[in-house]
Chains A and B, each alone.
Chain A
């Protein structure tokens, strides 16, 4: 396909990222023209500030989710429960810094520990939240890999029940807190930049290393592309499926912590609501096909940034967040359409004419 289209000028490695990058570029251009001082990056009270930094800070949670979601989608799955897992992780953390909750559920010693060694207690909290998130991911992984339930259905269970579990933990209350150590995760700055950015960067790099410096990436793509053949070639299909859902759970847990510590409270009903959708869109926009196979971590990050830039653009234009959903939906549809082989065939036939549809559908991920 690429040979006959303008795409041939773009290096193969970047081809899947072309449309999201173009969209991101256009959006930035729009902002540069219509938002005064858009590119300005200044220092306020020792922290770097500016519209561009905001995009990274506000998009941290979705970027994290997108990392885990990329791996899940690459295996041909999808994880609808990440929003609910975010809520569980956030509510756990918020509850464990609430003395009355601790006293009722864990015993008074925890409050003593919190008072004397807040650092230790925060470490314990993070550990507990993240372990719970990984366990939630493992539950999904079990349904998908052991019980062989379709991922969209399997993760629906936790999507429905997860928020109930989160509410169960905090008895339906919304805990707000004032624990600077914990809040640092979402609000703190390091070297003038939002601390959450470092978490995202760390997770992205670690995931990149995990998938590309080992054979995990190959195995994931192989499972997503043809799981039966992968099993016949000795790929530990079941374990890989299990693993990606656990990674997705972990990413969701981290995202939940960032999102809630940023506002110093955890609302089990609202936190991370519809974030799974943003994450899935980020991944799909980033060039990873929903049918599984080849995946592009970088593309997913760009996809997440694209969505966030769009949202922030709306803020800058003083569009209310609810109405901002409209352009968001339109951009998502546009990018999906541009990546749809059928759309290219039917509408952009001139540019992308190629093989008959059958082989095209099979090779969808490579487009």
Chain B
């Protein structure tokens, strides 16, 4: 880690504000970046991280305050403007154009030209040079979408660096990468830092923050909270800064939830997942779900946990194994079929798979029940209103009324609407994929409580979360996945975040011998058994 506080800082953001009609997205924000450091920008959703980035990169103009970069005041009017000044950005999703070639993705907007005409040879060489900087060797004439997401992400970084960047902003760059790819990216960040580049690293993954960052700036509700050296800031204090609550109070609440989950007694078996798998998605997975039991699917993003849930709920159709309910084997081919078996699921990506944004809260709540009843047996308007009112009250959904479009609610309240949608059909098995992602702490607590209550009432749950600690807290059984493969199972007292992590780490070591690919070829049943026997 380079100690560069003796030099003047590279970026000085002082008192920057940004308002949208009705919202103050940034309020007097401070940020200081030095050359040769990785600086993490942390905050809950809605803290103002992305607005700040958009101000720095010229997507939005700022209303007040100053941005000083490399010794002079700037106010970039466009991403291109920012790039010229030396600020390059790699965004989480929208990044490159998959239908263009790798070389073009690196050169669009800055093709080497002669007399206004593109020199393709020079463009290709430039692309190859740029890729070398991030340690990649690709066929630059190939269409970008012929390469994996991780490679695409690296290409994006190569593009950002190629603009002679002094400051590289990485906005959630790791959220779609697997573990080995994350390692590779962090290594790259480290080597870029040694080269004197300043990196602003925005992420939700705390482990990565502590592995790579020198300093951490925390924002909350659009305002600056604190800047600290990473090594001087304990995790719990960081969380406290982010959520604006006393760490002790958080601890107490966790203990309470944990207690709620622990006092449940086991019943009979409700369902058995028998080697459910799908080529290219997840290798066959097997576990049991008891009545009133909460089964956690533990693993990192991309480990196959969401894929497993999608197979159980029939969003994707499994090509191996079966789901056994009441002693009968099924292989749901659509959510409708799964619903008929009494299964419900709130999916991980609320915006894509969950809410119907322009329809009302009421419509969103009745949707699943209505689908179950069929098109022709409409739920009467009065029954719809009653249903909506019931869940708005019982789940404490904050909306001006039941007719408000659900897209205008906050993330936490949208999540509650989705929970209401499925509670209305009274499922036997309820799959919750990331029910607490991207929602504020208050709503998070409420949802955790609700999950506990449901299990209490005898509903079986499958629980997925990026926060393994949360998984450990609410589950009586945890199925651990890694690299799209089941690597173990924990039960009862053996469950802890540490135990889950250890299991993933051990699986990782086993993989070391063979090259860990982005898409491991899923194994067939027999092969898998053999390997399990070995281990």
Contact = CB atoms under 8 A, between A and B. Distances in A.
Q: Indicate if A touches B (C-beta under 8 A).
A: yes
A126 to B, nearest CB: 26
A232 B372 contact: no
Interface string B369-386: 011111111110000000
B334 interface: yes
Prevailing SS type, chain B contact patch: mixed
Nearest to A292: B358
A216 B371 CA distance: 10
Given A226-B356, A362-B358, A362-B407, A232 B370 contact: no
Interface in A233-259: 233-236
Interface string A183-217: 00000000000000000000000000000011110
B58 to A, nearest CB: 16
B355 interface: yes
Contacts of A218: 359, 363, 366-367, 370
Interface in B1-49: 20-22
B352 A225 contact: no
A228 B359 contact: no
Nearest to B403: A12
A214 B371 CA distance: 11
A230 interface: yes
B353 A222 contact: no
Contact of B372 (A234, A293, A363): A234
A188 B373 CA distance: 43
Contacts of A365: 358
Question: How many of chain B's residues touch chain A, expressed as a range?
Answer: 35 or more
B367 A366 contact: no
Given A229-B352, A353-B21, A355-B22, A363 B315 contact: no
Interface string A275-308: 0000000000000000001100000000000000
Contact of A229 (B353, B370, B377): B353
A222 B352 contact: no
A365 B376 CA distance: 26
A172 interface: no
Contact of A232 (B335, B363, B376, B379): B335
A144 interface: no
B169 interface: no
A232 B315 contact: yes
Contacts of B197: none
Contacts of B375: 214-216, 219, 236
Contacts of B276: none
A356 B353 CA distance: 24
Contacts of B374: 215
A111 B408 CA distance: 64
Contact of A228 (B22, B353, B357, B358): B353
Given A228-B353, A363-B408, A236 B378 contact: no
A231 interface: yes
Interface of A: 213-216, 218-219, 221-222, 225-226, 228-236, 293-294, 353-356, 359, 362-363, 365-366
The 3 A-B pairs with the shortest beta carbon distances in the complex, nearest first, are A234-B371, A215-B378, A225-B356
11 contacts: A214-B376, A214-B377, A221-B356, A225-B358, A229-B347, A229-B356, A231-B315, A231-B335, A293-B358, A362-B357, A363-B405
Given A222-B356, A354-B21, 18 more contacts: A214-B375, A214-B376, A215-B378, A221-B356, A221-B359, A221-B363, A222-B363, A232-B313, A234-B339, A234-B372, A235-B371, A236-B371, A236-B375, A293-B358, A355-B21, A359-B407, A359-B408, A362-B407
